[in-house]
Amino acid sequence: MKLRTKLWLLLMLSAAFSMVLFGFTSVWIGKTANKGYALFELNPLALSIVDSIEKQPASGPDALKRILDRAHEEHPEIRLLWIDETGMSFYDTAGLNPTFTFHDLAKLMQNMPKQYLTNDDVPIITPATWSGQSYYLLMTIPASAMKQGEVYFLIRTLKSLLTLVLPLILSFSLPYLLALWSFTELNKRIRKLNNALNQLNIQSSSPVVELADSSKDEIGQLTQHYNSMAHRIRSQFAQIQQFENNRKLLLSNLSHDLRTPLTTMLGYAEMIRTGNYSDEKDLQARAKIILQRCRYMDKLLDQMLDISRQDAEALTLRSVDHNVSELTRKIAAEYIMILDGEQFEFDVEIPDEDISIPIDAPLVERALRNILDNAIRYGKEGRYLGIRLKEDGQSVNVSVTDKGKGIPPEHQAHIFERFYRVDSGRKGEGLGIGLAIVKDVALAHHGSIEVHSTPNEETVFKLKLPR
């Protein structure tokens, strides 16, 4: 059943139930808490007494008195008087037998309803015929014997009933109608949200359906969350797809990168085995090529191992106080040696004093080597390598600068992602995980890695390690 139908049913039922409850409780409370005579009960009582007297006209005054006394016994609060046409009391259950003038009777009749609202006795006068003559039955009831509060309605026609029932129904239904209206509004908003969620397609290239709901209530908040969730899902899916594409590309590159040197190596090894070389120099040259290819493959396999390690576990740090300036100096010296004779300009700024901070030295060394390898591999044409170590109150910063082709701005935010390579079509230059490892190392140390690159001018990688 739809929510709307459910609510309609619920409201109808509760409106009907509350009306029944109202009627029932008001009658019940009236009966238990509001004791006494009701005005509408007195007239029938008077008529029934008159009726029983009129039915026995020939039985004489004794029978009349007996009837009145019995009525008085049944209703001790009520005083009953039998009055003749001249106003003389024929019988008074109180035994006072007063005489009434016409004026007295007229006044009693006139004030009948009014008396009911005051604290005086309430009179009920009923005309009667007995023994062929006209009489009156006068009943007087003390105000204290009447119901203390009584809602009585003078309903003569069905129309007058409507005047009561219609306002009652309206006043009962108004809160329900308001509740229904507000629920319908809420329902509309929920339906919109529902539809949007239903239509949310993470793969589609069409723009995300944004919902406008500026209200601050829970549904408004839910709508805002939906909007941001829809965008997040889309962008995360795009990232996953990108990641997946990079992974596939990596695999195809890798098989290519492994097969090419292997073919060369097999060819040269076969030449050596069959003695198909001119002299010792030629043999050495071929052996050197085999060695180079072996190293290259070894490096590739190392990187693959890194990938599977990264997949398997997060980095676990074994931090001890380590002299970062010494570490950086050692690595810088090594790279200067490697590039010796390559007409490189070196700019090394490492303070002489010891800077010791708690680090996992092998991991930091690996991160620095990854950055330096990249600077040489991708920035070689700049013929410049800068290695600087600086410290401030909060951190120790190692930066590596090259002046090669650099990284276009649109790629800078992605190069720390796994398998991301700026020129993804290029083969044999790496698997796109070097910088992802650098980032992991930096984060494991609660530090950071930043890149600032102006293509063909300067590219700086800055590794920040907190003190």
Question: Can you tell me the distance from the alpha carbon of 460 to that of 187, in angstroms, rounded to the nearest whole number?
Answer: 56
Q: What are phi and psi of 88, to 5 degrees?
A: -80, 140
Site string for ligand ADP, 444-463 (x = CB under 6 A): ---------------x----
CB nearer ligand ADP, residue 112 or residue 422: 422
How open is the CA angle 219-220-223, to the nearest 5 degrees? 85
Of 402, 403, 444, 447, the residue at the interface with ligand ADP (CB under 6 A) is 402
Coil, strand or helix: which one is 50?
Answer: helix
CB nearer ligand ADP, residue 360 or residue 402: 402
Total chain residues near ligand ADP (CB under 6 A): 23
**Minimum Å distance from CB 289 to ligand ADP?**
23
Of 123, 261, 386, 404, the residue at the interface with ligand ADP (CB under 6 A) is 404
Applying CB under 6 A, does 261 fall inside the site for ligand ADP?
Answer: no
Binding segment for ligand ADP (CB under 6 A), chosen from 50-58, 99-107, 193-201, 401-409, is: 401-409
Of 135, 406, 442, 465, the residue at the interface with ligand ADP (CB under 6 A) is 406
Q: How many CA atoms lie within 13 A of 165 on its CB side?
A: 9
Query: Residues 346, 318: contact at Cβ < 8 Å?
Result: no
Applying CB under 6 A, does 375 fall inside the site for ligand ADP?
Answer: yes
**Minimum Å distance from CB 304 to ligand ADP?**
11
Question: Can you tell me the distance from the alpha carbon of 354 to that of 311, in angstroms, rounded to the nearest whole number?
Answer: 36
Applying CB under 6 A, does 386 fall inside the site for ligand ADP?
Answer: no
Helices (H) and strands (E) in the chain, counts: 12, 11
Applying CB under 6 A, does 396 fall inside the site for ligand ADP?
Answer: no
CB nearer ligand ADP, residue 79 or residue 462: 462
Query: Residues 385, 347: contact at Cβ < 8 Å?
Result: yes
Query: Residues 303, 433: contact at Cβ < 8 Å?
Result: yes
Applying CB under 6 A, does 382 fall inside the site for ligand ADP?
Answer: no
Smallest Cα–Cα separation from 335: which of 381, 382, 372?
Answer: 372
Of 140, 374, 397, 399, the residue at the interface with ligand ADP (CB under 6 A) is 374
Site string for ligand ADP, 407-446 (x = CB under 6 A): x-------x----xxxx-----xxxxxxxx----------
CB nearer ligand ADP, residue 44 or residue 428: 428
**Minimum Å distance from CB 307 to ligand ADP?**
11
CB-based contacts of 74-80 (< 8 A; 24+ apart in sequence):
75/45, 77/37, 77/141, 77/142, 77/145, 78/37, 78/45, 78/139, 78/140, 78/141, 78/145, 79/121, 79/139, 79/140, 79/141, 80/49, 80/137, 80/138, 80/139
Runs of H (alpha helix) within 131-199: 158-199
**Minimum Å distance from CB 300 to ligand ADP?**
10
CB nearer ligand ADP, residue 200 or residue 422: 422
Of 116, 135, 136, 378, the residue at the interface with ligand ADP (CB under 6 A) is 378
| Continuous segment of H or E residues that includes residue 285 | helix 280-312
Binding site for ligand ADP (CB under 6 A): 370, 374-375, 378-379, 402, 404, 406-407, 415, 420-423, 429-436, 459
